[in-house]
Amino acid sequence: MKILNIGSINIDYVYEVDNFVKSGETIPSNNFKIFLGGKGLNQSVALAQAGSQVFHAGNINIKDDNIKKELTKWNVNIDYIKEVSESTGHAIIQVNKDGENSIIIHGGANRAFESNQIDMILKNFNQGDILLLQNEINKIPEIIEKAKNIGMKIFFNPAPMTKEVLNYPIDLVDCLIVNESEAKKLTGEDLDSDEIINLLKNKYSNTSILLTLGEKGSIYSYKTKYLKCEAMKVKAIDTTAAGDTFIGYFISHLSRDKEIKDCLSMASKAASICVTKKGGAISIPKI
């Protein structure tokens, strides 16, 4: 069984600030760094750090081919990374004193996927292989439909959540991974975590739901199955990529037929280590 992640690749411009900039305000940053990131790339790195072989399919600008070398160092397969004329995607990230972040992304090359490129990638995968998707690239509905026809197991993390997601064929997805804010936007309801889970399960009855709750832990539910995992208590320095780390570790362990409770607990442990380090992909631990 192979794991394919068709996802974003970003260059993250990270500014450490006392507080997030407000409307009409200009503020100084305390520190500035450039890291590799993107929810797609981070999740591939997390899968690899957790011990899985992962094929990352993504687009970068022709001038940024050093990104491929970096991914290779992380043991991520780069056969399906295409060099395009659009600029590589990037993110402007503010990290405040509490380690919380605020992110603007610019899609660039991430939004330059073409139908024939999707076909070329997917023809190398078979029934039972895993496909992981986030919402930082174009053509998501088409990819979901094509992968479902092949019989791939689809994991979808609708981050960042946009209004377009409401029209995506989420009922074809095997596992939907959302945080509380994404779940709220997807359901249109502001409910507690158990009520959200129930609502999502009613809406997508053949899809397992993984709800991540940050420092409050995570919940997995499918049909009659319901498992809750507490998060480890740590002092957060930078929460960037914590969710991505959780997702990569969860899928890696699940793909090796580990019990769900163990997948949740490994994912939670890895994410809690991630928040103690600065940066995106670089902060994803190997445990």
Is 136 near ligand RIB (CB under 6 A)?
yes
Print the binding letters for residues 237-266 with ligand RIB: x by CB under 6 A, - otherwise.
Answer: ---xx-xx----------------------
Q: How many residues bind ligand RIB (CB under 6 A)?
A: 16
CB of 282 to ligand RIB, least distance (A): 10
The binder of ligand RIB chosen from 4, 7, 16, 39 (CB under 6 A): 39
The span of 34-42, 163-171, 252-260, 263-271 binding ligand RIB (CB under 6 A) equals 34-42
Is the Cβ of residue 239 or residue 252 nearer to ligand RIB in the bound state?
239
Is the Cβ of residue 10 or residue 44 nearer to ligand RIB in the bound state?
10
Annotate the chain with three-state secondary structure. Answer: CCEEEECCCEEEEEEECCCCCCCCCCCCCCEEEEEEECHHHHHHHHHHHCCCCEEEEEEEEHHHCHHHHHHHHCCEECCCEEEECCCCEEEEEEECCCCCEEEEEECHHHHCCCHHHHHHHHCCCCCCCEEEEECCCCCHHHHHHHHHHHCCEEEEECCCCCHHHHHCCHHHCCEEEEEHHHHHHHHCCCCCHHHHHHHHHHHCCCCEEEEECHHHCEEEEECCEEEEECCCCCCCCCCCCHHHHHHHHHHHHHHCCCCHHHHHHHHHHHHHHHCCCCCCHHHCCCC
> Which one of 12, 129, 238, 244 is the catalytic residue?
244
Is 38 near ligand RIB (CB under 6 A)?
yes
The binder of ligand RIB chosen from 84, 103, 227, 236 (CB under 6 A): 103
Our answer to whether residue 244 is catalytic in this structure is yes
The span of 7-15, 52-60, 257-265, 267-275 binding ligand RIB (CB under 6 A) equals 7-15
Is the Cβ of residue 152 or residue 183 nearer to ligand RIB in the bound state?
183
Binding site for ligand RIB (CB under 6 A): 8, 10, 12, 37-39, 42, 91, 103, 105, 136, 240-241, 243-244, 280
Q: Which residues are tagged catalytic?
A: 244
